[in-house]
Amino acid sequence: MSAPFQGSFVALVTPFRNGQIDEAKVRELVELHASHGTDGIVPCGTTGESPTLSHDEHKRLIEVVIEAARGRLKVVAGTGSNSTAEAIDLTRHAARAGAAGGLVVNPYYNKPTQDGLYRHFRAVAESVAIPILVYNIQSRTAVNVETATLERLVRDVKSVAGVKEASGSLDQMSQVIAACGPDFAVLSGDDNLTLPLLAIGGHGVVSVIANILPRETAEMVHAALDGDWKRARDLHYRLFPLARAAFLETNPIPIKEAMAMAGMIEPEFRLPMCRMSDANRERLRAVLKPYALVK
């Protein structure tokens, strides 16, 4: 496989302390991933609560992650916006900071047409030299990047190198792989669909649960990429309960609560994200116990 992005990428949480980004903890988390087999880090995505970050915080966080990674992991910076001009500004900054790529989400709220989506992603991709991953997540943005639009982008803009596919549809993912070819990276945006996607020719995952189980997530992905399907399947079923529990409430609430229970970060959010309900927190704790993450 020659796709530029493959393997296990973590959709990094943004740790806060007293209302501010905890830069020391960010560096600690990057080090954890560097030592546990994660292939790449995606800061400032959905799991990183990017809509609550100011532009200065957004840019600083990307810089901190790149500095901490020291070239050991690929940093694909979340740089999307519902304003094309803002997405270009954020993506240019990420390129200057040394990111390996930019993850650009569908423009949200605007509800652009398919032609508008094409023009948006093309404008962002042509503004930088680094490769771009489209982040297709209709549940958060109200629009779906249709396969024909993605195929058009891949044909016309060589730096559109892949897609984080969070449609939840293996049918759509199959269409994308068939239309865009084996060198176009198709990464799962849903942990519970990573193994099925790999089985039909996908390239990896941008994972939520890798925040807390990085080694097992990476091992599952690489077992599948290496053709060891029994090992990959065993790991899939080991990780599956946590993949489901990670969405007991809106992401990233459950994963940050889980990390807090494991002593990894403070259980701090920015509104409108908030603490998990007591009932769901106990359900989450029960799921975590078999992983020896909590007592």
DSSP for 18-72, please give it. TTEE-HHHHHHHHHHHHHTT--EEE-SSTTTTGGGS-HHHHHHHHHHHHHHHTTS
- Asked if residue 107 has pLDDT above 50, the reply is yes
Marked catalytic residue, from 74, 118, 135, 256: 135
So what's the pLDDT on residue 6? 96
* Proportion of the chain above pLDDT 70, given as a percent: 99
Averaged pLDDT for residues 185-191: 98
Active site residue 164: yes
* Catalytic residue chosen out of the listed positions 164, 237, 256, 291: 164
Alpha carbons 257 and 289: distance in angstroms, whole number: 14
109 is catalytic: no
For 78-98, how does the pLDDT look when each residue is reduced to its tens digit (9 = 90+)? Answer: 999 999 999 999 999 999 999
User: 284: which residues sit within 8 A by CB, 6+ positions away?
Assistant: 245, 248, 254, 257, 258, 261, 276
The per-residue pLDDT for 1 is 44
The CATH homologous superfamily for domain 7-226 is: Aldolase class I (3.20.20.70)
Confidence (pLDDT) at 295: 74
Taking residues 197-225, what's their average pLDDT? 98
pLDDT for 263-283, tens place per residue?
Answer: 999 999 999 999 999 999 999
Report domain extents, the chain. 7-226
Q: Distance (Å, rounded) from C-alpha 293 to C-alpha 253?
A: 17
Residue 69 has pLDDT above 90, yes or no: yes
The percentage of the chain sitting over the pLDDT mark of 90, rounded to a whole number, equals 98
Task: Return mean pLDDT, the chain.
Answer: 97
Average pLDDT over residues 13-35: 98
